[in-house]
Structure 1
Amino acid sequence: MYPYHWESHHGNFGDDLNLWLWDFLLPGFRDVHPETVLVGVGTVLNPVLLPTDRKKLVIGSGYGYGEAPNITTPDWDVRCVRGPLTAAKLGLPAGKGITDPAVMIADMPEFQNLSKIHKKTFIPHWESAEFGMWPAVCEPVGLTYLDPRGEAKAVIRHIAQSEFIVAESMHGAILADAFRVPWVAVTTSRAINNFKWSDWASSVRARYEPRYVPVSTRAEAVAKKARFWGIRFDAQRPGASSAPAPAHAGGDVMTRSAPSQTGLRGIAKQALAAPSILALWQASRAEPHLSPDGALENCKQRFRDVLDSVRRDYF
């Protein structure tokens, strides 16, 4: 058996954690049933993404894009999905919508008893990190910038060591909630996919109430087909979106120092980002969310029960 991993050119810790999480949750799974692919963390329940010639064991994945797969065929074994919205979309009983498997990372010994060293942290969506100037926006706000394209364990450790998270990255909020770090959701696009966020949030009895933060650059507006200073950009994404993933040292968090703002051009770019700075400042001082302790623990216990059933049937 091997884990499905949607590998993006830019890197994204929420997808990359599939490379090692299942070795902790199901030790030895790689040594059994080589014809089976384990479909775990991610919004990947889409027939275009998943292999058609393999049996698919689904443990906690979510729906969110494109056509929903037909899971009634013999090559599907769906043990649980990310939340009740995915369960309804696939025609499954509501009880199959447990939660995102990433919440179980908080049980890993290497992430326990970590000291708090970051006051407030902002973790954007990978697309915002790719095209925006968020390190420069975070600086006057007093937020530590955390790049979601960094090495997954380093990003997760940073989240666990924060006292407060402002998250545009959904898995930034999921991991914050799992480590009991209060979080505020933001979005830089009014066309955000609310389905996947609400799917997870409802599973742990949290609320998804994102605060809107304007895009920080014209390039970001073009990439997201959003507005920047009243002008809407509907052009195709810049060619940079197909560039290779940025190189980074293994184990390092990609914090990226803010670009130089010297000179008239730099001053102008910083001035143009003023609405982003103000909105992010307001978000960093908003009332945070956190799922009830009992709701999260209940989801985790139900998820453990699913893992037990997988061990009985596959090992």
Structure 2
Amino acid sequence: MKPFHWESTHGNFGDDLNLWLWDFLLPGLRNVHEETLLVGVGTVLNTLILPLEGRKLVIGSGFGYGSLPDMSDRNLWDIRSVRGPLTAEKVGLPQDMGIIDPAVMVTEMPEFKNLPKSGRRTFVPHWESAAAGLWPEICKTVGLSYLDPRGEAKAVIREIATSELIVAESMHGAILADAFRVPWIAVSTSRSINSFKWNDWARSLGVTYAPKHVPVSTRAEAIAKGARFWGVGFERNEQAAEELEKRREGETVVADPEQTTLRVMAKQALAVPSALALWQASKGKPQLSSDAALAARKERFMAVIDGVRRDYF
């Protein structure tokens, strides 16, 4: 059995934890049922991402983009659970099969237990914001620590787990914060943020997705997302998003010979509304699911894992 990993060109810690989480939850899975693809963490239940051929075991995946594959043949699709009630409804499953995003089980891994708190208040943007925005610089001005979601998954998760507050545009930033009992505040910079998947997870735990709006920080970010910047609307440009992604790696912007000091200052001035909105959002009332709700969902998820162990091992 092989865990499915949607390997994006930009990197995304929420997708990348599929590389090792399932080896913890189902030790030895790679030595059994070679014909089966384990479809786990991520918004991957669509025809563009999943391979058409082969047998699939679905544990906790979500819908949110594109079109659902035909999952009616139970000889090819063994669906044990999905991320939340909205995905369950979309797939045609009983709502109680929408249990939880499997990423919450990271907290049970020994290497993530009893981590010391850093006291940081941390902003985790969506990967598109990280690729095209001025967010590392903005975070410095508003007293937040910046965490790039495209970083190495375990390092990103440790930063989330040890923070005292997470301001999250990244959904898995909020999911992991909630799982580690770190209060979180949701923000959104554009309509390209997928509210279906957020609400799918939020409803599984009885929390509310009501993101604070934060304007995009650069014209390039507006072009990549199809957002407004200083009153000018832009259509989403996929090619621009890809090019911007290549120009950034982590917090370091690739040097541009045309970036004069004056131009940098102008960009920072234009990002002031973004900085103000992010600062205001960070002062809002954070959320956290109840201990009882999270524990109950994790218990139900582990019952699913126990069933998979009985049937496949």
TM class by shorter-chain length? over 0.9
Q: Which one of the candidate residues 288, 295, 298 is aligned to 2:296? A: 298
Q: Which runs of 5+ in 2 are unaligned?
A: none
Against the structure 1 CA distance between its residues 184 and 12, is the aligned structure 2 distance closer, same or farther, given a 3 Å change threshold? same
SS in 1 for 2:238: coil
Correspondence 1:248-259 to 2 at 5 A: 254-256=250-252
CA RMSD of aligned residues (A): 2.0
> TM-score w.r.t. structure 1 length?
0.94
Alignment CA distance shift 1:80-1:242 (3 Å): farther
Shift of the alpha carbon at 1:192? 2.6
Q: Which amino acid aligns with 1:173?
A: A
5+ long unaligned stretches in structure 1: 249-253
Contact (CA 8 Å) 1:186, 1:210: kept in 2 or not?
yes
| Distance (Å, rounded) in 1 between the aligned partners of 2:309 and 2:9 | 33
What are the Cα deviations for residues 117-176 of structure 1, in whole angstroms up to 9, with x where unaligned?
142000000000000010011111100000000000000000001000000000000000
- Measure how far apart 1:50 and its partner are: 1.2
One-letter amino acid of the counterpart of residue 46, structure 1: N
Paired residue for 1:89? Answer: 90
1:104 aligns with: 105
2:165 counterpart residue number: 164
Q: Does 1:5 align with 2:2?
A: no
Shift of 1:233: 1.0
Deviation sequence 1:236-290 (CA, Å, 0-9, x none):
2344615886897xxxxx4548999972111111110011000000011100000
**Partner SS for 2:186:** strand
Is the contact between residue 133 and residue 258 of structure 1 (CA under 8 Å) also seen in structure 2?
no
**Distance in 2 separating the partners of 1:33 and 1:293:** 36
CA distance in 1: counterparts of 2:4 and 2:84, whole angstroms: 19
The one-letter amino acid paired with 1:286 is G
The answer to whether the aligner puts 1:233 opposite 2:231 as a matched pair is no
Aligned to 1:276: 274
Whether 1:139 and 2:140 are equivalent positions in the alignment is yes
- Residue 203 of structure 1 aligns with an amino acid whose one-letter code is S
C-alpha distance 245-114 of structure 1, shift in aligned 2 (>3 A): farther
Q: Which residue of 1 aligns with 2:47?
A: 47
Corresponding residue of 1:213 = 214
- Structure 2 letter corresponding to 1:266: V
Partner of 1:23: 23
Deviation, structure 1 residue 187: 0.4
Pair 118,257 (structure 1): closer, same or farther in 2 beyond 3 Å: farther
Tell me if 1:32 matches 2:8. no
CA distances 1:197-226 after superposition (whole Å, capped 9, x unpaired): 000011011111100000000000000011
Measure the CA separation in 1 of the matches of 2:253 and 2:116.
24
Preserved contact between residue 12 and residue 148 of structure 1 (Cα < 8 Å): yes
Greater Cα offset, 44-53 or 225-234: 44-53
Residue identity opposite 2:92 in structure 1 = G
**Aligned partners of 2:232 and 2:310: how far apart in 1?**
57
Q: Percent of counterpart pairs with the same letter?
A: 65
| DSSP 3-state at the match of 1:59 | strand
DSSP 3-state at the match of 1:153: helix
Tell me the equivalent position of 1:288.
286
In 2, Cα distance between the equivalents of 1:94 and 1:25? 24
Q: Any conservation in 2 of the 1:126–1:149 contact (CA below 8 Å)?
A: yes
1:247 to 1:45, Cα distance in 2 relative to 1, 3 A: same
Aligned positions, number: 310
Q: Secondary structure of the equivalent of 2:20?
A: helix
Question: SS where residue 78 of structure 2 aligns?
Answer: strand
